[in-house]
A and B are shown apart, each in its own frame.
Chain A
Amino acid sequence: MPVIEVRDLVRKFGDRTVLNGVTFSVEKGETMIIMGGSGCGKSTLLRHIIGSMKPTSGSIKLFGEEITTMPAPQLEQLRLRFGMNFQFGALLQSLTVGENVALPLVENSRVDPAIIDLIVKMKLELVGLTGFENLKPAEISGGMRKRVGLARAVALDPELLFSDEPTSGLDPIMTAVIDRLTHDLTRKLDMTAVVVTHDMVSAFRIGSKMIVLGAGKRAGTIIAQGSPDEIRNHPDPEVRQFINGEPDGPVPLKLSPEDYIDRLLGHPRQKGVAY
């Protein structure tokens, strides 16, 4: 039984379709990488899977249970089994770093405060932030906040970890540390992970399965899906452009001079007028 099963997921904001028929599944112990250009709906997809957004249509199953129609108390129970690492950390500004990491333990477990203290230190050690327990989130850098977010996400040793761009804005060494951590958690502890990322190096380092969301006309649909090797050798030109990081290709950046003028004017050029 797959840990995550998403079928025909459609989400519309007004007339804009952000997700259009997304279907994929993740097995236990896999690391699923979600890739795609900025604004293609990666974070929206993640928000649907964790149940904070409801789809327009389609089905999402976590641990075999349908979450789109699940009542709130049951969803809360399910949420104890997964951790979410937000893009900007989403730490509680009023609490210290240590209290933030301890929060899931204090609220959702009956562990002795002395043990919680120990777990907090262990989790902060994992992300290389020992000794920062007593600082407020406002006093540390964005990259550090992100790592605290990861420490908090794994505080309850979840079966399933969601990570929204865990390595963007980190230096190469820290990126490697975080990648190693994700890798170890999934390979050694059999945790399942879903990671949204732009970072190709990191994606191929930790991913065991990948999906690429399209841009332009194919926005909100999966244009490629498979193992890292399959994605690396994928024939689709848009996937190739994305992986190799080329400025021009199916996702256009440069326009012809005529199109450029049209776009600036907001209407087609008049005939016989020199621009």
Chain B
Amino acid sequence: MTLRAELRTFFFLNREILRWIFLGPFQGRPVRTAAVFRQMVRIGVQAFPMTALTSLSIGLTLAMQGAQELSRMGASAYVPNLVAVTILRELGPLLVGVVVIGRSGSAVTAELGTMKVGEEIEALEVMAINPVRFLVVPRFLAMLVMLPVLTVFGDYIGLAGGWTICHFAMDMGTATYIQRLMEAGHPLDLYSGMVKSFVFAWLIILISCQSGLGVSGGAEGVGQATTSSVVTSILAMLVANAVLTAVFFVF
């Protein structure tokens, strides 16, 4: 499909999702709450261990690298500042996004793709059940809630990783570390990270669902769609990240 056609499908899917969320309940077609929670568990809760591990290791390495460089200038006391700003503003949302794309976005594409190949999507349509309302909306809402939530968790765990280095390798007191964090990190840093993760969630789930629903050609098609969904999601996320960072600098 051409880029233009892809974009048209993307906006069409957006419109459909919003229509089912906001207008559906007034037409006797409410959002399937139980399905939303089921997807929240699959997309978010089950991604937590992986997110935690990634964030922890980044917090650790960030503090180690920072300590190494900053101590040469006698500024190792600023390690917490470095960790706070980097994780809250940039790495937290981005890394959690990458983990969720690899773990949950790809799963969504593969699942919807397999359903498409197995005629399940067609069967839903023939039963007068709209696939966007039935399958996409719960995943969309789950992702929109869970990615920011995971990002908050990831931020905390990353900061805890920084603390491990500061506390055990640099003899910095826990109270000092927390105090430095509070001084360095503005609420705005956290909020900008949250806005980012919300935008990322929107992009990731739409790209994943669109790739899955567009599958054709059997098992091979599902594989290709999953690959392209991961690649496109990461690219879209990086571009959005650059744009949002620039926007936040302006304000």
Contacts and interface: CB of A to CB of B under 8 A. Distances in A.
A77 interface: yes
B189 interface: no
Contact of B130 (A51, A52, A76, A88): A76
Q: In the complex, which range does the number of interface residues on chain A fall in?
A: 10 to 19
A84 interface: yes
Contact of B115 (A51, A77, A93, A103): A93
8 contacts: A52-B126, A76-B128, A76-B130, A84-B127, A90-B123, A91-B120, A92-B115, A107-B127
B123 A84 contact: yes
A93 B120 contact: yes
A49 B118 CA distance: 20
Contacts of B124: 92
Interface of B: 114-115, 118-120, 122-130, 134
A256 interface: no
B118 A93 contact: yes
Contacts of B114: 93
B123 A86 contact: yes
A108 interface: yes
Contacts of A22: none
A57 to B, nearest CB: 23
A219 interface: no
A249 B185 CA distance: 84
Nearest to A79: B128
Contact of A107 (B118, B120, B125, B129): B129
Contacts of A51: 126
5 interchain residue pairs of minimum CB distance? A90-B123, A90-B119, A79-B128, A84-B126, A76-B128
A77 B28 CA distance: 14
A52 B125 CA distance: 8
Given A77-B128, A92-B120, 14 more contacts: A50-B126, A52-B126, A76-B128, A79-B125, A84-B123, A84-B127, A86-B119, A90-B118, A90-B123, A93-B115, A103-B129, A104-B127, A107-B128, A108-B129
A80 interface: yes
Interface in A46-72: 50-52
A52 B115 CA distance: 16
B128 A108 contact: yes
A86 B128 CA distance: 15
Given A52-B122, A92-B120, A103 B127 contact: yes
Which of B118, B123, B134 has most A Cβ within 10 Å?
A: B123
B127 A108 contact: yes
B132 to A, nearest CB: 11
Nearest to B122: A52
